[in-house]
Amino acid sequence: METIQLSQPITIANNTYEKLSLRRPKVRDRLAVERLKKTDAEKEITMLANLAEVTVEVIEELDLADYGKIQEVLQNFLESRPVNSD
């Protein structure tokens, strides 16, 4: 789980978000968004909303700088790490 402090808090449906916590994605998360008939950007937004356990509207309201932060977290989750064979 990775927590991102938002530089620009947002309010949706009387809920204010000052930070978002993203869990690591699983294969089922990838499969779920690949089944959607949406653009790549919409699929990414849907996946991020799912990983943060918020609605798509929350992700859509993010400041672009904050969106960049959560994209970076997702990318870090997806990067392969060397396996220690010790």
29-70 pLDDT tens trace: 999 999 999 999 999 999 999 999 999 999 999 999 999 999
* HSE value, Cβ hemisphere, 13 Å, CA-based, for 80: 3
What are the start-end ranges of the H helices in the chain?
Answer: 27-34, 40-52, 56-60, 64-78
Q: Which two tokens stand for residue 13?
A: 């449906």
The answer to whether residues 51 and 70 touch, using CB atoms and an 8 Å cutoff, is no
Record the pTM. Answer: 0.86
The answer to whether position 84 is within a domain reads no
Model pLDDT for residues 17-30, shown as the tens digit of each residue: 999 999 999 999 99
The answer to whether position 8 is within a domain reads yes
Domain assignment of residue 14, given as a range: 2-78
* φ and ψ of 18, to 5 deg: -105, -15
The answer to whether position 53 is within a domain reads yes
The answer to whether position 7 is within a domain reads yes
The answer to whether position 31 is within a domain reads yes
Number of domains in the chain: 1
